[in-house]
Amino acid sequence: MNPSDVAAYLKDNPDFFENYADVVADVMIPHPHGGRAISISERQILTLRDRAKQLEAKLGELIQFGEENDAISEKVHRLTLAMIATRDLPAMLHAAAYNLREDFAVPHVALRLWHPGAAAAAPESAASEATRTFAAGLLHPHCGPLAMADTAGLFGEAAPLIKSWAYVALRGKETFGLLVLASEDAQRFYPEMGTLYLTRIGEVAAACLLRYLEPA
C-alpha cells in the first residue's frame, strides 16, 4: 500500500478516526517548522493557523487594493468635475493638465488635437500625421518606456530624462486627439499596468472637449 492508497482510504472512511481515536492520538509526526514531534491534532491546528495567516494576508492585500482604487476613483472624479465646470476650450485644457499634474502627480502632460474645431482655439495642440496615425490605431491606452510616433519632443529639455510614457486616444465618432502623459519614473507607466482609469480619463476628456469642438 502506497501513501496515496492510505490517503484515499482515509477520505473514503471518515469513521476511521472515531473507531481508532486512540491510534490517532498516539501517532506523532514532525513539527512543520522543525524540532519536536507533535500529534496529528496539533499538526492540524498548526495547518489551520497557517491557512488563517495566508487568508489574513490576502485580505490585507485586497483591502489595500480597494483603498488605492478608491483614492484613484476620487481623483478621477475631481478631474471630471474640474473639466465639466469650465466654460471654454482653453480653460478645459488648462483644467485637465493642471489636475493631472497636481492630483495625479504626472509631471508632463500634453494634448494633441486635430479636430477642425481646435484649429483656432488651440493651435498649439496641432498634431503631425504620424501622431494621428498612431492614435487612430490605439484600441487601449498604451504604456511603456519608449516615446511613440514623434512625441519625444513634446516636453523640450525634459525629454531625455523621461523614462515612461502613456498614450490615450481621444475619440468621438472618430479619433480626434491624443493625451500624452510622461514621467521620469520608469515605473510610473509600464506595459503590464492596468489601464482602466486611463481609459475613463480619456473618455471623459473626449466628451468634455467635444462640447467645445462641436457646439450644438
Between 28 and 44, where is the model more confident?
44
Residue 136: the pLDDT is: 95
Q: What's the predicted TM-score (pTM) here?
A: 0.72
pLDDT digits (tens, 9 = 90+) for 128-162: 899 999 999 999 999 999 999 989 989 999 999 99
Distance of alpha carbon 59 from alpha carbon 54, whole angstroms: 9
For residue 61, report the phi and psi dihedrals to the nearest 5 degrees.
-65, -45
Q: What letter would DSSP give residue 104?
A: S
Average pLDDT rounded to a whole number, residues 9-35: 71
Distance of alpha carbon 100 from alpha carbon 90, whole angstroms: 16
120: pLDDT confidence band, cut at 50, 70 and 90? low
Average pLDDT rounded to a whole number, residues 168-197: 95
Contacts of 175 (CB under 8 A, 6+ apart): 132, 135, 136, 138, 169
pLDDT digits (tens, 9 = 90+) for 36-65: 665 666 767 777 888 888 888 888 888 888
Structural domains present in the chain: 1-73 (no CATH), 86-213 (3.30.450.40)
Q: Which of 68-72, 139-143, 209-213 ranks highest by mean pLDDT?
A: 139-143
Distance of alpha carbon 198 from alpha carbon 52, whole angstroms: 36
For residue 144, report the phi and psi dihedrals to the nearest 5 degrees.
175, 180
Residue 36: the pLDDT is: 65
Distance of alpha carbon 188 from alpha carbon 101, whole angstroms: 13
Element (H, E) at 143: strand 142-144
What are the distances in angstroms from CA 214 to CA 89, 131, 177? 11, 22, 14
Q: In the predicted model, what is the mean pLDDT of the chain?
A: 87
Q: Which of 6-15, 20-29, 67-76 ranks highest by mean pLDDT?
A: 67-76
Average pLDDT rounded to a whole number, residues 69-96: 93
Beta strand 37-39 with 164-171 is unpaired
Residue 22: the pLDDT is: 72
Over 90: is that where the pLDDT of 94 sits? yes
What are the distances in angstroms from CA 58 to CA 47, 50, 68, 71? 17, 12, 15, 20
Distance of alpha carbon 20 from alpha carbon 13, whole angstroms: 12
74: pLDDT confidence band, cut at 50, 70 and 90? very high
Say what angle helices 89-102 and 40-84 make with each other, to 10 degrees.
150
Over 90: is that where the pLDDT of 121 sits? no
